[in-house]
Structure 1
Amino acid sequence: MMTSTGFLRGDSTIADQQEVPLTVAAAEEWIQRTCFSTGPAGRIGLELELLMGRIGDPSLQRPFADDNYRRLFSELRHLDVRGSLTLEPGGQLELSSHPEASLQELILSVHGSLKLLRAQAADLDAILVGAGVSPHLEPRRITQAPRYAAMEQYFEPWAPAGTTMMCSTASVQVNVEAGADDVEIRHRWNLLYSMGPVLAATFANSGWIGGRRSGWKGTRLAAWLALDPARTGVPHFSAAQDPGVSYARWALDAPLMMIRRVAGEWHAPAGLTFRDWLRLGTAVVPDRPPANLEDLQQHLSTLFPHVRPKGYFEIRYIDAQPGCWWAVPAAVVSALISNPAVSDQARGICAGSPDWEAAARIGLDDPGIASRAVQLMALAADQLRLDTSTRAIASQVEEYAEKWTLRGLSPADDDPSAWSDRDQGCALDGGIC
């Protein structure tokens, strides 16, 4: 959920002084410079979360013991994947790829890593499933890290959404460079938010929870929409203001979720914002030195906007996908941000689209969302066909659209009992992914 794929470029001078107390001005300046830094616009990465279960149980109906999650993870983490692996609070496995120079390189890299992971899991009588929410099992936290204990406690007022989000959900997080200059950063930031509801509905894959249909096509997104609005959703921005300035102020005004301590719980005083801690120091947190850069970095990792700036843009609104279909949202996002003309078309398609709640609840049952989804998929496929290196990926996008989008459907409309029969959507030669 919160793992970097290696884009982030910090400031070495400040990084060398992580324990030096911060001021409000220094914190705002660091966020602006670091979270919205420029870089080569073509680079792309992925964070794929997968649900783990028993072999022969593709819809994850049977309980998977806590020790099984940890044992499986301990075996998988030693594989030579191109990236890093993380065990998430409910036993989800997250593969965080290295950033790659092109979409084609990314898909080849992630495909190779997933092939290794799935094969090793099968040898251990386990499977890795791409779904936005575990469709049958009750959420439970299996990790004991103080970070996740504090997070669970913080989200208690928003039960059961908090536990569901932490322990039962999985996503495809597409990571793209913020942009080559300040103008491109602003345009990409706005575009990724404007396309969000349509893309979330297009790739919705979480229609079931607790063994029955939830009433939402995007139950995972619904959980996020039900959580603390001070740290989720769409940050409040002034149209006349630079996004880095707006985001820095929004971030510092978010309540603290946790405070690092050498020993004991990481709880934070209720309602205390990071800005308050910077200003008041030990007067409000007497058992800790004043906040420093490491505290700021941790606080930023507890903010969950639909698009999170981390020196690159982490797109968080797409459900995990079955089989190899994870490559399609990566390809669609890559194509739609590839040049200003295409981006302008995408923005025009999405103008006036329904809000996030409608996208999560109704999905492509809404005619307006469905029409926009078809147009975005066609635009992305056309753009991908212009490059010989991505024509096979264009075909995969078109196959996805034919299977679901053109029919007004998404993977959320598939019954979990039929998941074992789903087309895995592999566009590459050779083997599983």
Structure 2
Amino acid sequence: MSNQPGPQQGGHRPPANTDELTTPLPNDLSRGWLPEDTRQNPMSPLPAPKLFGFQTLLPFKFIKALRHPGELPWLIAAYSITLVAYIGVAVYFVTSFIPDLQAIDVDSETGSASNIGLMLQLALLAVYLPLLLFFARAVMYAQIRLTGVRITPTQFPEAYQMVVEAARAAGLRRVPDAYIQLGNGQINAFASGHGHRRFIVIYSDLFEIGGAPRNPNALRFIIGHEVGHIAAGHTSYFRLIFTSLFSQLPYAGAILSRTQEYTADNFGYRYCPQGSREVIGVLAAGKYLMNEVNFDEYANRAVYEGGFFTWFANLGASHPSNTWRAHALRDRSEPGRIIWRPKSNPPYPLSMVPAAEPAETWADPMQATDYMSIYPENPENQHFGIARVESKVPASQRDRRVADMLDTEWVPPYLREQRAREYPGQQGQGGPDQQVDNR
């Protein structure tokens, strides 16, 4: 058997037929036996993910344009407070803890046991917090890999296509890992990471909105939003360390979180702007009533729903209120509001007095009855949700077979073992300039 040239860097060689599932790759002269063979590593023309720095290759100015203008100031405040806290613990340790230990050595009855206990707790927290965060993220990722359904080119390929498109729009170095997790009725998705890896998790209920008969643009926007968290650095391990203390402060951590959500919305809007209205319907009314939400009427309420308690309720929320979020997605001329509600709306007629107005100005039952009789709704236009069940053949029977892997040169371990058994005399042999004949 003579040498054959391998695939070009970054290229992908489609197989001629499904028989190649069990045949060695053209440049794999070791026949899959050597797991350390560097020629079996997937190659990409894009640089590898970095431990320090962004996961995206977009220019910094471009990322800054997508980032909410309030995010960096609050992030700097979080880093500053964390740094001051660490310095304060170190100074207190030197000035109080060490003298207390010396006092115990001289006279055990004069030592301050309460100060020593407090300092031991602070010291352990400062030392072990990074390790605890690292361990917690690793365990969470492991649990998702063990229980979630991985989104792949052959497992929910439509969703995988969305993840790929969103990653490309965000300029990511690699396509993030993606999983479906049982939602139990919850509408949610999140992004996280472990080491160099980044991944997103989508709750299963969101997939009831993603098909062509429903509203795929809403799912596209949600995926773009989660990929935006990765591109903006929100899932970074070091960022989590330096904001964990700040996030415990009342309202301060919530404000930083809201700025990050607006930033992720900007990434989602860049990938799929047509899904910005639909996603509000999903978040506000759920998977069955999402298409029944009047987006403009809903967004206008961000201006009309005033008062101290609405302001206070938003102040401690980790996510922007849905009405404020809808207003920001509609009006792209200014960033989303963080603390104070929007002040203006485009011309749009109101059908009801805003709820923030005094109750004496609300319609009474007779007025409301007369109004509805003047403007009757079309009987065929029902706004009640209808749950439809579609019976389909199991995916294993209808999905296409793919006789190749997305990674260009990676060989599974079971094939390496198989080749080692079939060709025991070739252990450790083979190279780019050798000819191998195993007949």
TM-score band w.r.t. shorter chain: under 0.3
More strand by share: 1
TM-score, normalization by structure 2: 0.24
TM-score, normalization by structure 1: 0.24
Structure showing greater radius of gyration is 2
More helix by share: 2
